[in-house]
Amino acid sequence: MPSKSLDDLVSFFKSCQQELLQAFQALDKDCILSTSPWQRPDNGGGGVMGVIRGPAIEKAGANFSEVHGKEYPAIEGEHKGKPFKAMGISTICHPYNPHAPIAHMNLRFLQVGEDAWWFGGGADLTPFIPYEKDTQAFHAALQSPCDAYENGAYQKFKAWCDEYFYIPHRQSPRGVGGVFFDYLSGDFQKIYEFVRGVGKAYIDAYPRILEERLKCDFTQEEKEGQLYWRGRYAEFNLAWDRGTRFGLMTGGNPEAIFVSLPPVVKW
């Protein structure tokens, strides 16, 4: 893999982090941003955790990481024990207003051994109070880069998202979906442009949805319901999410990994 290609990828992931944090700050003028660099042991790379807390954006995170190690975690038997490199951007937002949806995006690149590499990631919307207008806008934004990438990609990645973000013990989807993809390999530049497109679509679409929904009036009953709904989000991330397991198994920063969890939740 050419080093320049990976350098460009790192720059893109870092720019996504900055754009997301700036977008959240613009939506909540009274929020507080904290950024924390972290390092893995034995010079194994690290990252930067960015967290926003405020009255409107109750908790949002945008994290960049670039890590490497001698042995790929055992969750992938084919590549077990090989040296690896992983980098990516992960973001989550938990708004205070129950009409404003939770949203998540993760874009990542992994290289294992001498020549195995792939992209993965996706984005999904998790409203407590769904609005069809928001669902359509979110999906339309993500469909554009999918259609440019490959015929049928949107339907394939949409179905994969619905399958992945299903909560088995609740027998319920986590939200209204989006796209999810993994193990994309082959033409590096083509896949890279697709991943860039997904990132840009999310950064454009989600803040627009938030801006409108943060203005909605809500009742105490709706707020109470939102806190219980958040419990399902926490359950999925702790029990089923592969990214959570991968981060912990590769010595990632636990605070950055668990920034995805809701700030206040009820069961």
pLDDT tens-digit readout, 80-111:
778 899 999 999 999 999 999 999 999 999 99
Distance CA 198, CA 196 (A): 5
Residue type, 57: I
Cβ-contact 99, 222 below 8 angstroms:
yes
- Does domain 3-260 sit in CATH 3.40.50.300? no
Q: Where are the domains of the chain?
A: 3-260
Q: What is the pLDDT of residues 171-208, one digit of tens each?
A: 989 999 999 999 999 999 999 999 999 999 999 999 99
For residue 104, indicate whether it is catalytic.
yes
Q: Which of 68, 94, 99, 104 is catalytic?
A: 104
User: pTM for the whole thing?
Assistant: 0.92
Tell me the two tokens of residue 155: 């339907």
